[in-house]
Structures are given as C-alpha cells and as structure tokens.
Amino acid sequence: MSTHVAAPPSPGPFSDYRPLPDAVLAARIEEVRRRMGRRLVILGHHYQQDGVIAHADFQGDSYQLSRSAAERDDCEAIVFCGVHFMAETADILANRPAKVAARGGRRVTVVLPDMAAGCSMADMAAIHQVEDAWADLGTVIDTAEITPVTYINSAASLKAFCGRHGGIVCTSSNARAVLEWAFARGRRVLFFPDQHLGRNTARTMGIDLGEMCVWNPHDPELGGNTPAALRGARVILWQGHCSVHAMFRPEHVDSMRKNVPGVKILVHPECSMEVVDKADLVGSTSFILRQVEQAPPGTKWGIGTELHLVRRLGANHPGQEVHFLSPVVCMCATMYRIDLAHLCWSLEHLEAGSPVNVIRVDDETARFAVEALERMLAVK
C-alpha cells in the first residue's frame, strides 16, 4: 500500500529538492502521477537512468516517443525525460494546429525537467550553418536536386528547414526507408547532423563511398570539397557525430571477440563505419532490444550503444551474457542530467500551475517542422 504524501502547497526552488533522498523524491513523483492521472504523461527515453525510467508511462526510442507524443492529445502535459530536441518534437506534434483547435485552443504543456539536457550531436548543426551550406551548394549544384534529410536528433529549426525545402526527418529506425523516399524525389540528399548514420544507411542501399562527401561546416571553401566532388555526390554528409557512439572503436570489437568466444557484436548505426563493418548486427535502439529479447538463453552479446540501456538489457536478461562493447564508460551525460530531483521539482511545479522548463517551439518554426515530421510519420 502506498503512503500518502501531501503535495507541497507551493513548490520551492530546485535547491530545496537536491538534498532529498531518492526514496522521498520517488514517493512524491508517484503522488503527483496519482493525483494528475491521465492529465499527465511522462515519456522516458531508453538511455535514461533506471530510477527515472521507473516513473515513465512510456519508454522508447526517439521514434516511438515521437509517435506517442503525436497520438496523445487527451493529456494536459507531457514531461519528457530525454533531451531538448525530443521535447521540442513532442511540443510540435502534440500541438499541431488541428489538435489545438480540437481541444478548444488548449495547448499541451511540454516540460523538460532539466534545460541543460541537450545533445552534443544536435549542437553540431546550427541553422545558420545549414542555411550557409545550402547557399554554398547552390553555387555548384542545383539545390532543386537535393532533398534535405535531418536526423530527429536536431533542433526544431533544422526540421523546419527540411519542411520548407521539401525534406524530411528520419530516426535510426527508419533511416533507410526515409532515404529511399528522398531518392524517389531527387538525385541527391543532404544528410545532417550525423555523418555516421547517413553513411552507414546509404551503404546498406548500395551507395558507394565514392558517391558521398562530407561537408565540414567550419570550412568556408565549400565545406572542404571540390566542385567536382560535390557534383559527383549523391549523399552529402554533415560532419557531425554522437559523442557517445564515437567512443566505440574497431579495436574494441577485436578484443571482445578475442576475450569472449562466440560473442555476437550488436551496434547502433551512430557508430563509425569501421565499427559497423566489424559488427554482426547493426540497428536502432529498438532493433537492439528486439535482438536480445528474441535470443535464446546463453547468447553472448557485445553491445555498442549507450551504457544505461546496455546495463538494463543485462539485468533484464540474466540468462544471456551482455557485455558493454567499450572498456570506457560511454553514457549520454546530458540525458543523465534528468534525475529524480529535477523530475520531482518539475512535476510539483506543473501540478501547482506554475510549470518550469516549458518547451515551446515558435509557431512559424513548428508549422514547417511538422511538415517534415509528418512526412516521416507517413513513411512505413
């Protein structure tokens, strides 16, 4: 039986929450959930720490959580235990004009418990850099031939850029289907911000490395490319990466195979091509989960993705041997900023009618971003 804990009459500053023990914070979080009922939805990304995930109504990867946000129009608030771009996506999808109109003008409040929970990859492509690149590309090739594709791990302004230019958003689950959609419409793709997901996906489609080039946003000379290289490119990859997945190295695969005979190497496509080439299986977070869930007892895995997810997989499948592929800790430090103290603080303020850390994408950006997101949601 749960112990009743009264809601604080007026929640205090975050500094009041920091010293509280986890058990107290967890009880207060559950009390808010109980009192708010269906008015509140807590979304938790797979990379989130266990203590936080325990309070999520839905757990998933970026794609599943965006679908969830798109489908939930009966709640008053979404608290997103993920990173900034995910909360922006939830705001855009949950507050599409038709949905707001159907609710009589009421918006769903989207909260990110800690505003410092960003994404280093998303930060590698700023909108002014993408606009400059587009203008520079236009001096060499016809931009009408290019479909811009942004990974969902990007700011809303980049999704809006794609919306304006006939482009689309992708996730690691649907990147190949999205690239096929893009190539059905144009000869070339500008893929940002993750060069690795773009390269690894294009290669699975049989696109040769010689038909790809990398755009360095810090190089004023055509992103470090010759006009001839750009004219010959089908895929122009933005020079960005995930600092977590970049930590996995090909030599980690070699040493795991040597030390754990029979191990299967399973990695995320944000890893470099050199790591992917040495792996047995490559796929999104959901794909990784599915592989382990479906494997027989005794299967040995060396998994190259975020640490919290890998640890949880090991704990949930004690009959299998789950190893973390890297000898060094690779965790998403920004996502880790969302802890019980921030979750409790933001929930109690939300319930009290004084929400903190509200994510609100401006209407103009949201209008174009939703076009690119809806194209993605329509791709099977």
Q: Does 306 bind ligand SF4 (CB under 6 A)?
A: yes
Tell whether residue 173 is a contact of ligand SF4 (CB under 6 A).
no
**Any contact of residue 335 with ligand SF4 (CB under 6 A)?**
yes
Q: Are 288 and 211 in contact (CB under 8 A)?
A: no
Residue 88 interacting with ligand SF4 (CB under 6 A): no
Which span sits near ligand SF4 by CB under 6 A: 1-9, 114-122, 159-167, 170-178? 114-122
**CB 146, CB 186: distance < 8 Å:** yes
Tokens read off for 190: 């500008």
Among 29, 92, 121, 197, binds ligand SF4 (CB under 6 A): 121
> What sign does the dihedral 247-249-253-258 (CA atoms) show?
negative
Decide if 114 contacts 337 (C-beta within 8 A).
Answer: yes
Q: Does 91 bind ligand SF4 (CB under 6 A)?
A: no
Quote the distance between the C-alpha of residue 141 and its chain's center.
31
**Stretch in the footprint of ligand SF4 (CB under 6 A) among 49-57, 113-121, 257-265, 337-345:** 113-121
120 contributes a contact to ligand SF4 by CB under 6 A: yes
DSSP for 106-160, written as a single string: PPPEEE-S-TT---TTGGG--HHHHHHHHHHHTTTS-GGGEEEEEESSS-HHHHH
Query: Residue 113 — φ and ψ, nearest 5°?
Result: -55, -30
Please identify which residue in 32, 52, 83, 137 interacts with ligand SF4, judged by CB under 6 A. Answer: 83
The single residue among 143, 216, 243, 320 that binds ligand SF4, judged by CB under 6 A, is 243
Smallest separation (angstroms) from ligand SF4 to the CB of 249: 16
Give the per-residue contact string, 19-48, with ligand SF4 (x = CB under 6 A; - = no).
Answer: ----------------------------x-
Residue from 153, 200, 225, 285 in contact with ligand SF4 (CB under 6 A): 153
Contact 332, 87 (CB under 8 A): no
Nearer to ligand SF4, 64 or 225 (CB): 64
Residue whose token pair is 């992103």: 223
| C-alpha closest to that of 268 among 126, 374, 151, 156 | 151
Residue 242 interacts with ligand SF4 (CB under 6 A)? yes
**Binding footprint of ligand SF4 on the chain (CB under 6 A):** 47, 83, 119-121, 153, 242-244, 306, 332, 334-335
